Structure 1
């Protein structure tokens, strides 16, 4: 029997009563499905419910076969060995014991028929470009991107019937993304992927669009989905215009009806006053006229109500997804002004960034390189979070650093309280007004940071950075598009286009780097910080 998963009447709410799903029905069959939706729509929550990591308040999840899930934020114990992450430590130890001459029965029971466990593990690592990572190394010796690939390698070894991937390209360099794409393209079972990576989404067979607690299905990949959605939205906007015209017409007809009824009342009263007919007949005529007038008025009022209902339905079909509106402070840096100086840096963890960098004026620098090259370490050193072992890293203007892990937030504090920490001089009203522009309105601003989705957490961290005092004239962004839906990526791009300060962005998202108009590209590779003007493999100029 082929693998499948089915959600029936699925309901789930957070402990504070916030409903995520109410009666959701969905079925995922063999093949690759891209699960889309704006930040906070419940994509990650749905994957956790399917994987059994959350319990629905009502409804059922039925899965035929084993489920494997790659979470959005992979956090591994840095003390674990690679073979422990891959789930083969016990079998590998049993194999080594047998090879050393220990014929104890428990070793054979542990190993079973998996005599090639090491070969398969090394092959899985090799497929993902981790051939250099030995099975005895610890997680603390690999980069964040490599830890994501390690977790994926463990899933490839298990070969679950249903594979759930939550933003799998986060933190992956261009080379690692290519290997992930290949793994996804060749996956034989059920695969559900949440992602904002267009190239990855163009590998799927269908799109599941999660919106307002319901899923709408679209055949084909992301490009086909965009085309279908554009046609739908054009038709929906046309229906809104038709419905608006109908409402205007019904309002006019209702107004005309009131005029007609007023005339009838005046005529009836005049006839009654002149007593041209017997009193009983006049009373009967007036009563009949009132009944007729009432029906006439009710008829037009019902038509207007129906027209308004059709308009509401039409408006609801038009997408008006909220997007973050980043209100960047005035942070202009004059051309030629000295912003940052780097000289012959030697960083912690043995990373070197030989050579120098002078950043002047409102330059935009893209910092690129493989996972583990030291991009995050370099940014943290520039931000003053790490001291260089040797060399110089001097910022000459106020700067702010938005880290990849978004750990600037205190999970125990509310969103508003977190933002207030960075701007102690700001009033509560000012903090909340700014948060509203980042879609934290009303009670949402009081939610604990620890309950936020990845995209919501990004918005909260970005709001804290933007409201901080003094305002930054140098922004350091580490993989800023991770965990953002496509609408938010577009809005972030638009905001950065209008930013007048200096910018350093570490990212593997080449379309995003192109969209923010980078003026220089720096490649951190083999301990050297090199400016590139021509493309290198995987990193176009």
Structure 2
């Protein structure tokens, strides 16, 4: 039985605080969804398990062979397919053997790998990359000829070729179309060992048998899928909010009783002082009474101080159980479009990747563009921009690379809206949860969730205000709070949307009015089923 065990795992980033301190967890056979906010350390944890990072203390134990599909595979654009698949040494050895120039080392390397090319081709076909599987010469293609989704599937093939007992997948559905997602899901379902999937894809997480939440440096396991996890957390949060209300009420009560106690003590002190001044009893008796009164008053006061401190401690503990549920609240009347108002008009436009498209967008339509990986969805967005839409527009790219990284959040917004005063910019940024000094943080220092909110602020507070938003796979790499923030912001947007996405649940939540599928033959109305 394959297991992954973390024992007393401790790790700190070189330039940051301790991320994990004495972390313990065990992952057994079956699919486990690893969730957590951006910055919680999901990717770091996978890298520690895979041996790409070394812990400061503790250990990681894996029984069996480990496969690791990392998140940044698309950055190796200059590599060949065979290199990503790890076939180069074996292919070279096999070719030398076939030509009669094989060495003893070549035969050792080829032992057990005589059919490696055939196995690779079979897996490529199974995962929806048949054009790479048609001929072994296609294994020499470069990654930059593939789409992001195709590269992701290629990386998965590379790991499966190693026949691992445990599989680590970091955001595996990024850039995958619906067909590719189904193939990925089938691979996970059929895998007999441990599968640890880090991600925020709610459809994928709903297919997990266990959810492992990484929060505040600790892992908490939830039996069941993501929907079950949400039910548990929602119930806990309702109880936590009730506990906070009770704790706040108790703090007020204890504070009032402390005030009353101090009033009583002051009254007694004044009475005692008056009696002492009148000298109605012997001096020694009066002195003894005064000492007793002081001791009694001190105990009485300390009792109420302790009760106030205890009530505040209970409140702090109750508030710690409340998750950060702050919401973006924006008012965007300048983005309003009216029915019939022309926004985009493409007629017989040929895309560089092949399809010829016709597209008309009028009024505040919300259009989803779906389609297979590599068909040209991002190219379509680029062509729309090149054709100069009839209204002001803005693009939210996949990588959120719209900032001057060295300038602050406020300075980036100011560059997009030079006509607005600094006071107005900061007031509006507060509604995107950048309050006070948070607006002065350089863009390059933002976390993933902060980066999304800053990007939304730059786009939506721009001058002139955009009346058309183009979004390219906007939910990739978003944690669940950030996804909620994006949905909230788009709910307030009153212009037109053109969204490239395969996340059907997200499309439903933002109120898509038309769903179009891009195929090699052009744009067609997509079926009502998930994309």
Confirm or deny: 8 A CA contact 1:76 1:147 kept in the other structure: no
330, 337, 351: which is aligned to 2:354? Answer: 351
Distance in 2 between residues matched to 1:258 and 1:449, nearest whole Å: 51
Distance in 2 between residues matched to 1:531 and 1:46, nearest whole Å: 42
1:400-456 Cα distance to aligned partner (Å, 9 max, x none): 111223333455655555545434555666555555544455666565555555444
Question: Aligned residue for 1:2?
Answer: 2
Distance in 1 between residues matched to 2:9 and 2:94, nearest whole Å: 47
Decide whether aligned partners of structure 1 residues 13 and 91 sit closer, same or farther in structure 2, where only a CA change above 3 A counts.
closer
Q: What secondary structure, in the 3-state scheme, does the structure 2 residue paired with 1:297 have?
A: helix
TM-score normalised to structure 2 length:
0.90
Distance in 2 between residues matched to 1:199 and 1:327, nearest whole Å: 31
Question: Aligned residue for 2:513?
Answer: 519
Gaps of 5+ in 1: 385-392
Deviation at 1:345, TM superposition (A): 1.1
- Stretch deviating more after TM superposition (286-295 or 28-37): 28-37
1:292 matched to 2:296? The reply is: yes
Question: Aligned residue for 1:129?
Answer: 128
Confirm or deny: 8 A CA contact 2:449 2:481 kept in the other structure: no
> What does residue range 274-313 of structure 1 map to in structure 2 within 5 Å?
274-313=278-317
Question: Aligned residue for 1:81?
Answer: 80
Q: What secondary structure, in the 3-state scheme, does the structure 1 residue paired with 2:131 have?
A: coil
170, 173, 179: which is aligned to 2:183? Answer: 179
1:225 matched to 2:223? The reply is: no
Question: Aligned residue for 1:397?
Answer: 391
Distance in 1 between residues matched to 2:18 and 2:414, nearest whole Å: 28
1:111-163 Cα distance to aligned partner (Å, 9 max, x none): 22211101211122122111222423322222111111111111111234443
Q: What secondary structure, in the 3-state scheme, does the structure 2 residue paired with 1:483 have?
A: coil
Decide whether aligned partners of structure 1 residues 436 and 84 sit closer, same or farther in structure 2, where only a CA change above 3 A counts.
farther
17, 26, 40: which is aligned to 1:28? Answer: 26
Question: Aligned residue for 1:486?
Answer: 480
Distance in 2 between residues matched to 1:20 and 1:303, nearest whole Å: 34
Question: Aligned residue for 2:238?
Answer: 234
Distance in 2 between residues matched to 1:330 and 1:54, nearest whole Å: 49
Decide whether aligned partners of structure 1 residues 192 and 328 sit closer, same or farther in structure 2, where only a CA change above 3 A counts.
farther
Distance in 2 between residues matched to 1:443 and 1:71, nearest whole Å: 35
Confirm or deny: 8 A CA contact 2:452 2:482 kept in the other structure: no
Deviation at 1:464, TM superposition (A): 2.5
Deviation at 1:511, TM superposition (A): 1.2
Distance in 1 between residues matched to 2:99 and 2:214, nearest whole Å: 55
Confirm or deny: 8 A CA contact 2:405 2:443 kept in the other structure: yes
Q: What secondary structure, in the 3-state scheme, does the structure 1 residue paired with 2:373 have?
A: coil
Question: Aligned residue for 2:463?
Answer: 469
Decide whether aligned partners of structure 1 residues 452 and 169 sit closer, same or farther in structure 2, where only a CA change above 3 A counts.
farther
Q: What secondary structure, in the 3-state scheme, does the structure 1 residue paired with 2:466 have?
A: coil
- Stretch deviating more after TM superposition (506-515 or 206-215): 206-215
Confirm or deny: 8 A CA contact 1:20 1:41 kept in the other structure: no
Question: Aligned residue for 2:160?
Answer: 156
1:42-97 Cα distance to aligned partner (Å, 9 max, x none): 322333333344455x3234233554332334324333221111111221232234
Question: Aligned residue for 1:42?
Answer: 41
355, 363, 376: which is aligned to 1:374? Answer: 376
Q: What secondary structure, in the 3-state scheme, does the structure 2 residue paired with 1:132 have?
A: helix
Q: What secondary structure, in the 3-state scheme, does the structure 2 residue paired with 1:522 have?
A: strand
Confirm or deny: 8 A CA contact 1:20 1:42 kept in the other structure: no
Deviation at 1:491, TM superposition (A): 2.7
1:459 matched to 2:453? The reply is: yes
Structure 1 stretches of at least 4 aligned residues deviating more than 6 Å after TM superposition: none
Distance in 2 between residues matched to 1:482 and 1:417, nearest whole Å: 26
Distance in 2 between residues matched to 1:86 and 1:452, nearest whole Å: 34
1:341 matched to 2:335? The reply is: no
> What does residue range 47-86 of structure 1 map to in structure 2 within 5 Å?
47-56=46-55, 58-64=56-62, 65-86=64-85
- Stretch deviating more after TM superposition (34-43 or 441-450): 441-450
Aligned residues: 524
Gaps of 5+ in 2: 133-137
Decide whether aligned partners of structure 1 residues 335 and 264 sit closer, same or farther in structure 2, where only a CA change above 3 A counts.
same
Distance in 2 between residues matched to 1:119 and 1:436, nearest whole Å: 58
- Stretch deviating more after TM superposition (265-274 or 111-120): 265-274
Distance in 2 between residues matched to 1:24 and 1:448, nearest whole Å: 32
TM-score normalised to structure 1 length:
0.89
Decide whether aligned partners of structure 1 residues 132 and 443 sit closer, same or farther in structure 2, where only a CA change above 3 A counts.
farther
Distance in 2 between residues matched to 1:232 and 1:70, nearest whole Å: 34
- Stretch deviating more after TM superposition (279-288 or 261-270): 261-270
- Stretch deviating more after TM superposition (182-191 or 504-513): 182-191
> What does residue range 245-256 of structure 1 map to in structure 2 within 5 Å?
245-256=249-260
Decide whether aligned partners of structure 1 residues 51 and 468 sit closer, same or farther in structure 2, where only a CA change above 3 A counts.
farther
Confirm or deny: 8 A CA contact 1:353 1:524 kept in the other structure: no
Q: What secondary structure, in the 3-state scheme, does the structure 2 residue paired with 1:395 have?
A: coil
Decide whether aligned partners of structure 1 residues 454 and 267 sit closer, same or farther in structure 2, where only a CA change above 3 A counts.
closer
Question: Aligned residue for 2:12?
Answer: 12
Question: Aligned residue for 1:263?
Answer: 267
Distance in 1 between residues matched to 2:326 and 2:490, nearest whole Å: 18
Question: Aligned residue for 2:135?
Answer: none
Deviation at 1:24, TM superposition (A): 4.3
Decide whether aligned partners of structure 1 residues 43 and 435 sit closer, same or farther in structure 2, where only a CA change above 3 A counts.
farther
C-alpha RMSD of matched pairs (Å) = 2.7
